[in-house]
Amino acid sequence: MENWDLGYESGDLFKWDREISDFNACVGTNGGPYTYTDYSRGYFFAARTVAEDVLQRRRNIDISIYPIFYLYRHAVELALKGMINFLSYYYNHEDARAAGHDILKLWNETKKLVKKIDLLKEDKELITFLEKVFQDISRLDESAEVFRFPESKGRELYLQDQSHINILVLYQIMLKVENVFEYWFTYKFELLLRDNNNTKTA
């Protein structure tokens, strides 16, 4: 304890530092407004980075699975909400705000919109792949609480019917999920916006 530097002033946790400015993250009015899609990218990046570190070090696998899975799950939730917001506005010109944490409900809402847009519904293989993955995520963690806490509010232990989760397999599959979303976000959405702008100016 005697060698620990514990000097701390209120607000230090979030202060801006000129000398190490390369590590200053821009947030709020200084960096945004960011969208659900941007947040999703951040969570996918964080999940992937932690998973890669654990796989490389081969340490703390049993306790690292909880934050890794949660980060991936939240990344998916944010990505789906981002798609619902974007596609609702594109198709219906409505400022929709998807709510809730149920991955399958969000996916079903997303899928309805995807199937209305030719440029997206042609990606049948991608849609089928995501459907299977999201069914598994929902089966294991429908409420987004299973990997945040060891037990429910009723003090029932989670994951009693699941004995193993392979981090390498999880990493490899979720990398594909991330790539599908990124393909839609950066390529298909751009084409939709371009088509929409061309329609307005025609």
pLDDT digits (tens, 9 = 90+) for 70-110: 999 999 999 999 999 999 988 876 777 788 999 999 999 99
Token output for 192: 């939709």
Decide if 155 is inside a domain: yes
The pLDDT tens digits for 114-160 are 999 999 999 999 999 999 999 999 999 999 999 999 999 999 999 99
pLDDT for position 196: 67
Domain of residue 165, residue span: 35-191
Decide if 183 is inside a domain: yes
Q: Which residues, at least 6 apart from 157, have a Cβ–Cβ distance to it below 8 Å?
A: 150, 151
Domain total of the chain? 1
C-alpha 180/C-alpha 172 separation (Å) is: 13
Decide if 7 is inside a domain: no
Decide if 28 is inside a domain: no
Decide if 149 is inside a domain: yes
Decide if 92 is inside a domain: yes
